[in-house]
Structure 1
Amino acid sequence: MDSFERSPHGSSTSGEPQASADPSHTVTGRHLLVCIAGPDLHKRILVGSAAVQLGTSADCAVLSDDPEVVGAFARIRLENNQVRIDALGTLPLYIDGHSSSTVLARARQQVRIGRSLWEVHIATQPVSVFDFVSRMGDHLSNAAGIEKPAEWNAGEMFADVTKKHDDSEIEANFTVGTALTTPQLGEIDSRWPKPWLFVRVCLLSLALYWGFLFAWDRFHNVNLIPGLIMIGSVAIPVSLLIFFFEVNVPRNISLYQVIRLLLTGGLVSIVISLFLFDWTEGLSNWLGAASAGIVEETGKVLTLLLVVREKRFRWTLNGLLLGATVGAGFAIFESAGYALRAALGPGGDVAMRDTILNRGVLTLLGGHVLWTGLTGAALWRVRDNRPFDRSMFGDPRFLRVLGVCMLLHMTWNADFALPIVGYYGKFMVLGAATWLLVLGMIQSGLKQVREAQAEEAIRRSGQMEATIIPISSASAR
């Protein structure tokens, strides 16, 4: 989003060649390595001249779920129009039934990596907007080390939105995170969540906003302006926050904790960012509005120090919610500031209403809530169940996600257009790519819960066997 300190201003346009406005005039040939069977089923890797690594280590661009693909297992790149795969460990690769430490695969050839079967695909077709978004999602997912959301189904996830829900269900959704309402590990529902409450909150907030608009248009009472700004700035960020509150399937963070962090985290992140703007004035002069991508993302990440030491918040999904909470606080205070500035400017109430509307719509596509949610999830994914240590900020798994979010923020603020989609389409594409990363992080968080549940089940099974054997022995005697 725009820098809290200064409004966006013009800068030189992109020096990159612009693509044809007609998508049918642009043709691409992409090499994709697609998993068609095995533990990594449905994963795909966009292969280019720059090598990417497949495995489970922090420096791997593509994370594998294959139990045999451990560490930095394979390096993949394009060589002479073929996909070259180099085994980095002692286990070989297999192509056409033959084992080898290095393989060169052409279109439709299949390679076995660990227990998974991969096939080379070449996509050659006109570039559409959907293809452009998909390509950007591939690149960003690889750069951030977040798997694409292969398990996600939109129809299933939002199936409960249109169903009837009574007040008791709404109260039950908010009554979580206490000693009596936090489920035990084995009781957590680790299936894909079905959030619906966020839609109700959004509709209620918008209804209140339109109520203030009606009153303002009818009476033009200045006392209505604070309410108009407040409700307009809160509506979308808080609705998104409720979405992440529902997605947090461990149900171990209370509404009180969220509200407290929303207020304190929003203020602290803005104050830290303002100090950073003062200390990095040269960066702002050089990059313009795009500098906010570096400064503000850093400020919000540092604010997460308020809660990252809480041992009971151990899950990646906890980090997603807590990061989104800090981002929502920042977005609310920033939008209120811009709305007030517009109201006091030459545009008056018309400019204020336009500012509230534009920033609200853009918050749905991307912005502080999503970006900080991603960096929070990445930090908690690194921390896992260990005590927090400052060195975790230097873990590549965190830095890669932070870097991608900074890049998204900088591109959002920069005054240039993306190929194919143009200037205004840029926000749509960045928003779609950001949501792909968010869904991928939700998928990763759900897997973390399932793995912990499986480990606990094995541990309990072992304890039961250890208890049963002595009793059986005693009975035999």
Structure 2
Amino acid sequence: MFCPSCGHPVSEGSTFCPGCGRRISHVQEPAQAAAPNPFGPASRLLDSLDRAMGGSGHVDVKLSNFFDAVFRRHARGEADMLFACGSPATTPPLANVSRFWPHPWLYSRVFLVLLVATLGLIVLVRFAMNPIGVPGLMFVSSLMAPFTIVVFFFETNVPRNLGIARVIEIFFVGGVFSILCIYPISALLPGGGTGELGASLVTGITEEVSKGVLIVFFVLRLGGRNYILTGLLVGAAVGAGFDAFETAGYVLEAFLGANQTNLLNDIIQSGLSAREVAAGIAQAGAVHYPADMDALFLEVVGRMPTGFCTHVAWAAVTGGAVALASGGEKFEPSHLASPTFVGIFLVPVAIHGLWDAYIPVLSDYGVLGMTLDQWIFAAAIWVVLVLLLHRGVVQMNQLSAAAQKSALAAQNGTPGTDGRGANLE
């Protein structure tokens, strides 16, 4: 049998994997491209969507795979082993890459850590009345949802070819520069906004293209074979950085209020001196408890649900589309013209535009911090992500099996194949 994390051969009854050191809780069969449909119409819809994305049309997805390991006890060393990847010494050969559905769990612990830190900062600011915690509250609360999703895709990246240091680099650099890219793109495509459908769609195009530029940049920097699961991770990291910085800005605006936000804009744009800044703040009025703090807390809580299903999810789909278009080979810019990439990329663009638009009735009612139409769009983007995860696992299953067959053939002195039937000689 094989380790469900790294694919290393494991003897029957073993408690730990000799390859990656993780505890062997259970072993399942490799993901198969074809499987029976146990969920009726919903599964048939997933199969149809998979065919539309160029897949086999048979989706075998157990959502429990994404949550079952969350509720198990894990030793601290297991988290350390998860982060030990990405270097030549810790990236497994393709033949040893896991061919099993991943069972992520660390993302839930990261979420809890950030949630506890956010609650602690709320106590510090709201009840201890200590303003020193305000900047930390703005940034940590903005990280909570998007960075959790980044860790989720880090765990599901079974090729283990991208280390956490590189992911953090993509998060910060990609997040900042994807926001900066909006300005030249907006100059070429003006008229963006929210509320009205046309302006919202322009905003969707502008922001998704800006994130796409950074995703392509980092994919090109990584080089090598471009796997779907890795593309999802790169896209999620760029989108999470974008989301975190944008959300922190919105929380700051809520905290300052309209008058002081306008003053801050004047300060930045005019380059006033520190003395003039102080005089301007005094004229605008100091922050008053509890009104401004209540606005801060409402913004923190209100934007938390959207962090799981907006920029980080939209950009992850773009990253997966880039990888899917390259077919598991080295990415080339010409792949961006393929119908596969264009068709899938239009999904986050359209959902982003509709998300920002006002839709009668659906936009008038909400639950748990999101309107009804936003819940529909959140479900839609995660359906696409689950399909891409399925395609990614099937891709690694095929490539790993082909590599193992090739290695065995080399030992026997016969040629192998590359997973698509092509001779490796």
Whether these two folds match at TM > 0.5 is yes
Does 1:349 pair with 2:293? yes
Higher share in helix: 2
Once the two structures are superposed, residues 273-313 of structure 1 have per-residue CA deviations (whole angstroms, 9 ceiling, x without a partner) of: 13222332235597234422111000000111322222235
Q: Secondary structure at the match of 2:335?
A: helix
Deviation at 1:221, TM superposition (A): 2.4
Deviation at 1:323, TM superposition (A): 0.5
Matched AA of 2:230:
N
Does 1:250 pair with 2:159? yes
1:407 is aligned, of 340, 347, 350, to: 350
TM-score when scaled to structure 2?
A: 0.74
> Percent identity between the aligned chains?
28
Matched AA of 2:401:
A
Once the two structures are superposed, residues 154-200 of structure 1 have per-residue CA deviations (whole angstroms, 9 ceiling, x without a partner) of: 23432111111121111111111112211111221121111000000
Residue 380 of structure 1 aligns with which residue?
Answer: 323
The worse-fitting range, judged by mean Cα deviation, of 385-394 and 371-380 is 385-394
Deviation at 1:363, TM superposition (A): 1.8
Q: Secondary structure at the match of 1:308?
A: helix
Does 1:171 pair with 2:80? yes
Contact 1:265 1:326 in 2 (8 A): yes
Residue 358 of structure 1 aligns with which residue?
Answer: 302
2:236 is aligned, of 306, 324, 341, to: 324
Deviation at 1:40, TM superposition (A): 5.1
Q: Secondary structure at the match of 1:449?
A: helix
1:443 is aligned, of 356, 367, 390, to: 390
Does 1:234 pair with 2:178? no
The worse-fitting range, judged by mean Cα deviation, of 386-395 and 440-449 is 386-395
Matched AA of 2:110:
V
Once the two structures are superposed, residues 376-407 of structure 1 have per-residue CA deviations (whole angstroms, 9 ceiling, x without a partner) of: 01101222454432221111100111101111
Contact 1:202 1:239 in 2 (8 A): yes
Residue 294 of structure 1 aligns with which residue?
Answer: 205
The whole-number CA distance in structure 2 between the counterparts of 1:450 and 1:390 is 26
Distance 1:250 1:386, change over 3 A: closer
Question: RMSD across aligned C-alpha pairs, in angstroms?
Answer: 3.0
Structure 1: which 5+ residue stretches go unaligned?
A: 1-37, 45-120, 124-130, 469-477
The worse-fitting range, judged by mean Cα deviation, of 355-364 and 314-323 is 355-364
Distance 1:422 1:341, change over 3 A: closer
Q: Secondary structure at the match of 1:345?
A: helix
Deviation at 1:352, TM superposition (A): 2.1
Contact 2:228 2:324 in 1 (8 A): yes
Residue 114 of structure 1 aligns with which residue?
Answer: none
The whole-number CA distance in structure 1 between the counterparts of 2:58 and 2:83 is 27
Does 1:308 pair with 2:308? no
Structure 2: which 5+ residue stretches go unaligned?
A: 1-31, 259-290, 416-425
Contact 1:311 1:385 in 2 (8 A): no
Residue 261 of structure 1 aligns with which residue?
Answer: 170
The whole-number CA distance in structure 1 between the counterparts of 2:138 and 2:364 is 32
The whole-number CA distance in structure 2 between the counterparts of 1:462 and 1:139 is 37
Residue 273 of structure 1 aligns with which residue?
Answer: 182
Matched AA of 1:259:
I
Q: Secondary structure at the match of 1:415?
A: coil
Once the two structures are superposed, residues 221-249 of structure 1 have per-residue CA deviations (whole angstroms, 9 ceiling, x without a partner) of: 22211011011101111111100000101
Distance 1:214 1:39, change over 3 A: closer
Contact 1:249 1:317 in 2 (8 A): yes
The whole-number CA distance in structure 2 between the counterparts of 1:137 and 1:441 is 11
Distance 1:149 1:231, change over 3 A: farther
Matched AA of 1:319:
G
Deviation at 1:464, TM superposition (A): 2.7
Which structure has the larger Rg? 1
Deviation at 1:430, TM superposition (A): 1.5
